[in-house]
Structure 1
Amino acid sequence: MEQLLVINTSPQRSASYSRQMTERFVRSWRIRYPSGEIVYRELGNQPIPHVDERWVEAAFTPSEARNPQQKDVLALSDELVSELKQATQLVIGCPMHNLSVPSTLKAYIDQTVRMGVTTRLVPGTPGSPYAGLLHDKKAYLLLVRGGHGYEEDGAYAHMNFQEPYLRAVLGMLGIHDITTVNLEYTAIGGGQFDDAVKRANLCIDALLG
C-alpha cells in the first residue's frame, strides 16, 4: 500500500504558500491513491528539538548497549525514522529562509540522518561518502521563495542553498527519485507572481498524471 509522508515546514498557516502547495498535492494524491495512507509531520508550528550532547552519545552507542535514558533521548528520532521508513512517497513544503531551509527542517534532518540506521559511511566512493539505507521512495519538493532568480540558470542560482541541500541530504538517505516544483515572487506580488502561481499549480497537478 502506498503511504505518503507530508512534511510542512512553514511557520505560517493559512498564509503559507508552501502549505497551499502541499494541500493541492495531497488532493491529487488522494485521487491517484484512494486507498493510500497519509501521515502528516508538522515542523513549522510544532518544532522538534535540536540534537544535543546526550543525543549524540545515545545515537553513537550500539542499540543493544543503550541504557533506558539513552533510549528515551532517541525516542522521537526513532519515531521520525520509522515514519520515513514506512513512507513510499514524501512531499516537503519548504519556504526559503535566508537562502536555505527553515531551522525547523534542519532540526528534523539532524534527527533522521542516523549512521547505520538511515545511512552509512562508505569512504572513497565517487560522488558521495554516504550510502543511503532508505530505498524505493519517491520525493517531491515544493519550494517557495519570496524573490526570484534562484532557479537553475537564474541570476541568483549560486545563492540557492535550499534545493541543492535538500537533494544532497535525501541522497544521503538513499532517496534519489526527486521532483521539484518552485514558486517564486511570493514577496513581490503582481502579475509575475500570479503567473508563477499558475505555473506551479499546473506542475503540481501534472505530477501524478
Structure 2
Amino acid sequence: MILKKIIEMKKVLVINSSARTLRSHSRKLTEVFVNHWKTTHNNSHITFRDLGTENVPHINENWIAAAFKPETERTGEEKEALKISDIYISELHQADIIVLGTPMYNWSIPSVLKAYIDQVVRVNQTWKLNPENLKNPYIGLLENKTLFVLLSRGAEGYGKGEYNEHMNFQSDYLKTVFNIMGVHNIHVVAIDGTSFDPEILKQTIQNSHQNVKSLIEKELA
C-alpha cells in the first residue's frame, strides 16, 4: 500500500512537439500514455508542455551571455532572455516521468523541439562540466527520472542494424541529449511507416499503443 501511494504521487511532464494538432501520431501516443497512466495512478500530477503550438524562442546573444555568468551579474535584458529557459528547466527538475512525443521531420526532429533543447541544455542547471574527465566531461543534473520517447516516422527501417539507420538523426540524438542531462532510464516507442500502407500502419499503431501500456506496467512492477 505504501509503495502504491508513492507511485501514484509521481509527477509527469508531457511534452508534445508536432506541428499538427490533429492527425498527429506522436500526439496520439502521448494521449495513450496519459490515459493509461491515469487508470493506474489515481492521484497523478500531470503537466503539459505543447511546443508545437508555442512560440519557443531561439537562444540569442543575451541568452548565451547570461547562461555563462552568475545570476547576480546578469543585466535586466539577460535575465529576461533566460526567463522561458528557467520555466522549462524547472518543469524538468520537478518531473519524475518525462514523456516526449515527436515526429520525424526531414530525418531529424521538429525545429521547435531543437529550440526547446537549446533552452534546457544549460550549464550548471541541467548539466555541469568535469574538466578532469576529458573523454566524458558532462555530469547530468536531472537525476532519478524516467523518459518515454514516443516517436512517429513516415518510413520504416530506422532501427539498429536496419536499412535506414544511417538516416535516423532523431532517436539516438534525443537519447544522447537526455543522457548528458542525467536521464539514463529511457524507453523508446515508435510508429513507423505512417506514409505508407494503411493496413500495415493500422497494425503498427496498435502494437505501439500496446507497447506504451506495457512500459507503464513495467514501471509499476
TM-score (ref. length: structure 2): 0.91
- 2:132 & 2:191 partners in 1: Cα distance? 37
SS in 1 for 2:13: strand
Give 1:38's aligned residue. Answer: 46
- 1:105 & 1:134 partners in 2: Cα distance? 18
Encode CA deviations 1:179-207: one digit per residue, 9 max, x unaligned: 00011010113222122112101101111
Determine whether 1:74 maps to 2:77: no
What's the CA shift for 1:23? 0.3
| Corresponding letter in the other structure for 2:205 | V
Give 1:61's aligned residue. Answer: 69
| 1:89-128 paired onto structure 2 within 5 Å | 89-123=97-131, 125=133, 128=136
Aligned pairs, how many?
209
Give 1:26's aligned residue. Answer: 34
Encode CA deviations 1:109-143: one digit per residue, 9 max, x unaligned: 00001101110112463763211011000000001
- Does the CA contact (< 8 Å) of 2:98 and 2:147 recur in 1? yes
- Unaligned stretches of 5+ residues in structure 2: 1-8
RMSD: 1.3
User: 1:204 is matched with which residue: 188, 202, 212?
Assistant: 212
- 1:79 & 1:187 partners in 2: Cα distance? 36
Give 2:6's aligned residue. Answer: none
- Unaligned stretches of 5+ residues in structure 1: none
User: 1:138 is matched with which residue: 142, 146, 151?
Assistant: 146
| Corresponding letter in the other structure for 1:197 | I
SS in 2 for 1:44: helix
| Corresponding letter in the other structure for 1:116 | N
Identity %: 39
- 1:205 & 1:72 partners in 2: Cα distance? 40
- 2:202 & 2:136 partners in 1: Cα distance? 39
